[in-house]
Amino acid sequence: MSFRADVKIDLDDITKLVPNLKKKFSKDLKRQIVDIITDKIQSGNSPVSGHGKYKEYSEAYAKRKGVAVDDVNLNDTGEMLSSMRAFQDSEGSIKVEVNEPAGFHDTPGVARKLRKMLPGPGESFTKDVFNEILKILQGAVKL
């Protein structure tokens, strides 16, 4: 199971200037979007608006992992963050997903301490993450 978030940027006006732009986003551009999101996560802060700094690890977990309780970067083995990817759907929209076990961190009632990684329905990226993504997209369409 994977979790997805739409990067909600209306590209219709831009695509009038550059035909078929939605179909031409490079692998590198999509990787840059993922890097923005994972950098925010690894800083200990949620990229999802309204969630702020991640809650501390429990004393027992921190001791078992050999980390400080406030060193919350969701990068235990690296597998979860390295599974994050951006892709284009059949309509040309950019989607971001991360595979399990991200659901443990993103699902209320499942996670002991909710640590959002991607926006869910009705949520959005933080302004700084959104603006960085927008800057990359704008750079991709400079004529």
- 24-60 tens-digit pLDDT: 567 788 899 999 999 999 999 999 999 999 888 889 8
Per-residue CA distances from 115 to 10, 45, 63, 108 (Å): 28, 9, 20, 9
Quote the CA–CA distance of 74 and 71 in Å, as a whole number. Answer: 9
Distance (Å) of CA 12 to CA 87, 89, 141: 18, 15, 12
Please say whether the beta carbons of 125 and 133 come within 8 A: yes
Instruction: Compute CA distances 4 → 1, 19, 35, 97, whole Å.
Output: 10, 27, 16, 4
Greater pLDDT, 43 or 141: 43
User: What pLDDT is stored for residue 45 in this prediction?
Assistant: 94
Interacting residues of 141 by C-beta distance below 8 A, sequence separation 6+: 14, 17, 18, 21
Query: Over 60: is that where the pLDDT of 112 sits?
Result: no
Q: Of residues 38 and 79, which shows the higher confidence score?
A: 38
